[in-house]
Structure 1
Amino acid sequence: MSVPQMREASPSSLQLCRVMRPDDANIMGNVHGGIILKMIEEAGAIVGTRHCNTLNGERCWVALVRVEKTEFLVPVFIGEVVHVSAEITFTSKHSLEVQVKVMAENILKGTKKLANKAALWYVPCSLENADKILEVPPIKYASAEQEEMGRKRYEAQKIVRWETKARIEEVLPPPLNPEPHTVGFSQSSLIHLLGPSDCTISDYVYGGVTMKLMDEVAGIVAARHCNTKIVTASVEAINFHRKIKKGCVVTVTGRLTFASNRSMEIEALVDAASLVDDEKVSYRAVSAFFTYISLDKDNKPLPVPLLKIEGEEEQRRFEEGKARYLQNKAKRLADRAPAVTQ
């Protein structure tokens, strides 16, 4: 049995590691993207909660509110040891940014590879009153420039979070007997009752639990559309709109929004409703876009079937997804271009 290890570098940093087991992976031996996302969030939550409780005063836990775009750089396989390093890189009055790096180690060959990088934003919530947001102890920056760059990231994510909250849309059930390669044909949902093992000591669900469920349902959508082996390539920013409490039932829905000849964008949405409270109205808790690619038995990319669009709403979502795809493609090309010296 593997035992998770932790090495503390400073009060604002943390490292976790564990070996990847068969139940972490798909039938081809690739570790699920949701498992990696869950480990990333666990490391962020630990270092964030520890930091926010360094001062004497009201005790708190940190709630995840946003994960920036995350690239899955290389696949991780059964038997590899995953090292997750988390460090607090910016603090505002009521929030903190944690940057996370994931390394995968092959202990038989003695090699390591960078698998993921992510940036997460948390807010500290009082243990006595989860709706009360507490102040974050400041961190020391290596330079004024580093602090200013963090402030710019903070302002940018705050604006986008509010814009996303304003665009919450209803999810309609798929039609009966939908045609193959349509949105309705691959649309899928998972229903999960949140129990004690899914939640923090304050009885609110871990962000990593919902991200894992979102990756699972998005993977089902991608596999249904392609009928091949699929793998998570990236996740656009994940926005946590509202907290989810123990005893809630979450409905996690995935639907295709855009497909190029090499990739699929899938919108994953989490709606929650309480089983035990008198108020049982469902509400949108989390939303994100996942990108998947289709692979053959040798892990080589395969063409993605054309997505058949039906109706104005699907066309609008397709055009929005295409714009995100082109923007990300342009950014990747710019990152690869050699620097011009003068």
Structure 2
Amino acid sequence: MLALTCGEPAGIGPDLAVMLAAGGVPPARVVAVGDPVLLAERATLLGLGVEIHTLAPGESPPLPRRGVLPVWPVALRSAAHPGCLDVANADHVLETLDVAIDACQRGRADGMVTAPLHKGVILDAGHVGFTGHTEYLRDACGVQEVVMMLATDSALHAREAGWPGETALRVALATTHLPLREVADAITAPRLERLLRILHADLQRWFGVSAPRIAVCGLNPHAGEGGHLGREELDVIIPALEGLRAEGLALDGPLPADTLFTPRHLEGVDAVLAMYHDQGLPVLKYAGFGRAANITLGLPLVRTSVDHGTALDLAGTGRADLGSLRVAVALAAEMAGRGV
């Protein structure tokens, strides 16, 4: 069973939740976490005959059935309208995350899937330092380090989501939502070692890869070109990789990012570690936007998400694309099954 948080109420998260219920039976029991009235309004606006089944405390969700959306209710703080942000609902969004996390920790859910939230609204509401789902989940679960990884659909996920595809491209990030000028200082040998150990272990645990092979990007153009274009590879990245290879991890690199993402270098690679957000994710999204999912590794629970934002201009129009959410649900179900 998966808890689906509905994200920013003015965005397409509520649309996606009701569209998922209307579109067929998912590969797991999915319980939305959000405002039942909002979900009913959005279903009506989209012309979808979806029954919103508000669950009472302690009530077990029904078996999956097309056209029925079970909901763990979290009330809006203010009425929500498609495309119109309201800082009053920032605490509502965070409460949906807290409910889903608690459900996973108490064994009421086997994993959580998150629709997109709007970081600016949460910051404007006074939650200083909020940087996104990934870091919020890290702190809520009390772990030191997590890894953000996006993955395109594998053959299994493609079948579940109705997309063609045979192989997965997985891209993890050494740094996430940082200004570019802060990236180099954030990349240290101890941090890389922690991240790569998490990536290696969770590829085994959640993805069934017995001996993961990971390709690592350099930070600088041409991976520093022997120190002529920056010393981070020589002073930080290479020593970290050499230490981990001595522990038995299969690591390639550091490799120039402009050539690593080519078929020859990706052959036999289970995941790529990019040094910063816009080094790796543009490639992944070009390869599979709309049929990829975001995964948080290093948590004691399963969490996947969509590969896109709140799309305020699409909210309530019926033009939102369900593809990424279907992949995220299928992937979470598969991961939860492996992690049992």
Q: Higher helix fraction: Structure 1 or Structure 2?
A: 2
The bucket for the TM-score relative to the shorter chain is under 0.3
Compute the TM-score of the two structures, normalised by the length of structure 2. 0.22
Q: Higher strand fraction: Structure 1 or Structure 2?
A: 1
